[in-house]
Chain A
Amino acid sequence: MNQDEILTKITEIMRETFNSPTLELTPDMTAKDIKGWDSMKNIWLIVAIEEAFGVKLSTSEVISIESVTDYINLIQQKQS
């Protein structure tokens, strides 16, 4: 999957997870920029992302994620 495809899919997942149907993601966005993205909801988000992309994130990876770009890079790296 290329970065754009991953971004589109993550957008879809975040819209559902944060109940915000019109959410538009840009790669530089962080948890601060998205309403409802707290540490708890982050777990739920990770579960959805793991299911959608068929990957599993480690503890240190979960901690290291700060922005949408981080997610995209991680997923791309794990899928390759």
Chain B
Amino acid sequence: MKEWNIQSCPWLPATPDDFRERCRAIGETDDDSTLEMYRLAQFALSNNQLNSLARTFLAQQKKTQTSQLLKPFRLGLVSNATTGLFVEALVGSCLRFGIALTVVEAHFGQVMQEALDPDSPINKEELDGVLLALDYRGINFKDVLSDVANNGGYEPSLADDIKEYIDLLIAKFSQNGSRVVIVQTIPQPTDALFGSYDARLVSSIQRQITAFNSYLATLPQESGTTVLDVAKLANRVGLDSWHDPIQWNFAKLPFSQKLVPLYGDYLARLLGAIRGKSRKCLVLDLDNTLWGGVIGDDGLEGIMLDQGNAQGEAFLAIQRTALNLRNRGIVLAVCSKNDEKNGRLPFRKHPDMILKEEHIAVFLANWHDKASNLEEIARVLNIGLDSLVFLDDNPAERAQVREALPQVAVPELPDDPAYYPRALLAGGYFESIAYTPDDKQRAEQYQANSQRTQLQSSSRNIDEFLQSLAMKAQVSSFNQLGRSRIVQLINKTNQFNLTTRRYTEAQVIAMERDDTVFTLQVRLQDRFGDNGMISVVICRTTGTVWDIDIWLMSCRVLKRRVEEFVLEQLITEAKKRGITVLRGVWIPSSRNDLVKDHYPNLNFKPLKEENGATYWQLAVKDYTPTNPPIVME
């Protein structure tokens, strides 16, 4: 068995021999090759291969508009070590997560100057985020022996001047919160001056770095910061492999450059999460993935799933991992070649099963090919194929799915199931930058939705169905309680989103405090459960006009007349405030065709069309109530 080692990104399939030819072929065509580049990005590319792909992509970008598959991200890179060597490779890694990355580098080694000078590249350029990649060798940690007299037993604390340094950098780079600042945690150095005593000595570099990293963890989310946990990554790799003293001495390279593909993947998945690209659903194969053996052949007593048996324990571990993911809000589904009766049998009858039928939102055990089943799962759950991760022990099935559905993530699995949890989680498919109570309920909400779908098919007509849902809504302006979820919806919602404007947490806070901005958040419950926050509206006031800056809704509550209900609330609030006209705009994106007719459907009158965007207005006095079947609480 080959050792499973994170250094080589073993969850990614090996790069095919024709990689270079495929890159060249992209270079020779003028067609949109985004999907082909996305496919190539899914392999375990080396440094040079990432560079080749990045160059291919940048050349394509100049020639043609790259498609909707990718979202742009402009990243400023600030470091007190050398980063220039691997910037190009990062562009390649980001393609793997659907991000079209542009990097703006700060001047070498001028972290503070870059922050303070308003004309520095980082301050001057339009950026979505800034990565602050600090190396411990450039931080003014206090002298190790300074506190020797009163060491031991104290809580480690970070020196005030270092706190101030970090706070100032974040404040300057975030430009009042309009950009995300990604701060890296700092890996420990390899060496200890005293040995194990470094773990106790208050002023040891080890404890100072620990205090530094803890300080980053406590930075408030409102400051617009996100943490890239490089310290953990370096630990996983092993500090002796992470730090390369030769490379540091030659060029101040902060970590061994053979790890660039791994580092790039870690950064890319975080940028993907910021852009709402994290996946939502884990689809599981059954035989030899969730249990050992084949249920159809081996029967309930024959499959391996028992505690105390090393092989059985391995399958229990992957089930536990899946259940943990579900508990944090990842939807689970099953896709297996089996008779349905056989496939369900262990879930119903096997005493050691950790996963139960109630945890599975969609259960497809049949003899169709797996790609078709995965499409069906995405359809039933009303999510994109790019929200799915597919776990299957069979290399042939994995290859078929990758070929047919490149958007679905399919991790490579090692031969030994003991490594399945590691391989699944190492891929970073479910990377998060925040966690809200709504996230926690997500899996249950998707499941309730499939129950609603069943009720819908048994109802005689749509009105009867909506009435029987007994919907209740709570409406309020933005507040601290709902803020994380509001920011998440603003940055993730693609389909039911009239303008696709994105705002940071700091910008949202500014709006809460701005008297000329009217905000609305809507939560919805029905007889099947709590849908959580499902709609957000922002209006900007000019005289007696409200311009609707953002109107978005979660697609989970489509076709429930929620938008009519929201308009009803807007009109009520507008009247209270002496507003006479609501103006709205639909700005087309690649994903929001769904709401092209949102305003005309609500009886707004057309104003004008400009660059494909359509403008609409509704006089408050012309509004006619439509009585949607939703009760206000």
Known contacts A16-B52, A19-B55, A51-B258, A43 near B247 by CB under 8 Å: yes
Residues of A within 8 A of B569 (CB): none
Over the window 254-271 of chain B, the binary record of Cβ atoms lying under 8 Å from chain A Cβ atoms (1 yes, 0 no) is 001110000000000000
Q: Is the CB of A40 within 8 A of B84?
A: yes
Chain A residue at smallest Cβ distance from B260: A47
Q: Given A16-B51, A17-B48, A40-B84, decide whether A47 and B258 contact each other with a Cβ distance below 8 A.
A: yes
> What A residues does B250 contact at CB under 8 A?
39, 43, 59, 62
* A79 at interface by CB-CB < 8 Å: no
CA separation between A59 and B247, bound complex, in Å?
Answer: 9
Q: Does residue B396 face the partner (Cβ distance < 8 Å to A)?
A: no
Of A40, A48, A58, the residue contacting B48 (CB under 8 A) is A48
Query: Nearest Cβ in chain B — how far from A51, in angstroms?
Result: 6
> Contacts A40-B85, A43-B247, A50-B258 known; A13 to B48 CB distance under 8 Å?
yes
Given contact pairs A19-B51, A40-B85, A43-B85, A58 touches B246 in the complex (Cβ within 8 A):
yes
Complex contacts, B52 vs chain A, CB 8 Å: 16, 19
Instruction: Tell me the bound Cα distance from A62 to B249 in angstroms.
Output: 12
- Measured CA separation A19–B52 after assembly (Å): 8
Interface size class of A (residues with CB under 8 A): 10 to 19
What bracket does the count of chain B residues touching chain A fall in?
A: 20 to 34
A72 to B505, CA, bound (A): 56
Find chain A residues with CB under 8 A from B139 CB: none
In the complex, per-residue mask of B39-64: 1 if CB is within 8 Å of any chain A CB, else 0: 00000001111011001000000000
**B47 engages A44 (CB within 8 Å):** yes
CB distance from B417 to the nearest CB of A (A): 29
Within 8 Å CB of A44, what residues of B?
47, 85, 257
Interface residues of B in 55-85 (CB under 8 A from A): 55, 82, 84-85
Cα A47 to Cα B50 in complex, Å, equals: 14
Q: How far, in Å, is B25 (CB) from chain A's closest CB?
A: 13
Given A16-B51, A44-B85, does the pair A59, B249 have CB atoms closer than 8 Å?
A: yes
Say yes or no for B594: interface residue by CB 8 A criterion: no
**0/1 per residue, A20-46, Cβ < 8 Å to B?**
010000000000000000011101100
Looking at the complex, which one of B20, B24, B55, B251 makes contact with A43 (CB distance below 8 Å)? B251
CB of B46 within 8 A of CB of A48, answer yes
Of the residues A39, A51, A57, contact of B46 by C-beta under 8 Å? A51
Instruction: Assess whether B51 is in contact with A62, with CB atoms less than 8 Å apart.
Output: no
Alpha-carbon distance A71/B191, docked complex (angstroms): 32
Complex CA gap A17/B86 in Å reads 12
CB distance from B70 to the nearest CB of A (A): 23
Asked if residues B47 and A62 are in contact (CB atoms below 8 Å), the reply is: no
Docked CA distance A41–B84 (Å): 10
Q: List 18 A-B contacts (CB under 8 A).
A: A16-B48, A16-B49, A16-B51, A17-B48, A19-B55, A21-B24, A40-B84, A41-B85, A43-B251, A43-B257, A44-B257, A47-B47, A47-B256, A48-B46, A50-B258, A51-B258, A57-B246, A62-B246
Given A19-B55, A43-B253, A59-B246, 7 more A-B residue pairs with CB atoms under 8 Å apart are A13-B48, A16-B49, A16-B52, A39-B250, A40-B84, A40-B251, A62-B246
Per CB-CB distance, the 5 closest pairs between chain A and chain B, nearest first, are A16-B48, A47-B257, A47-B258, A59-B246, A43-B251
Interface residues of A (CB under 8 A from B): 13, 16-17, 19, 21, 39-41, 43-44, 47-48, 50-51, 57-59, 62
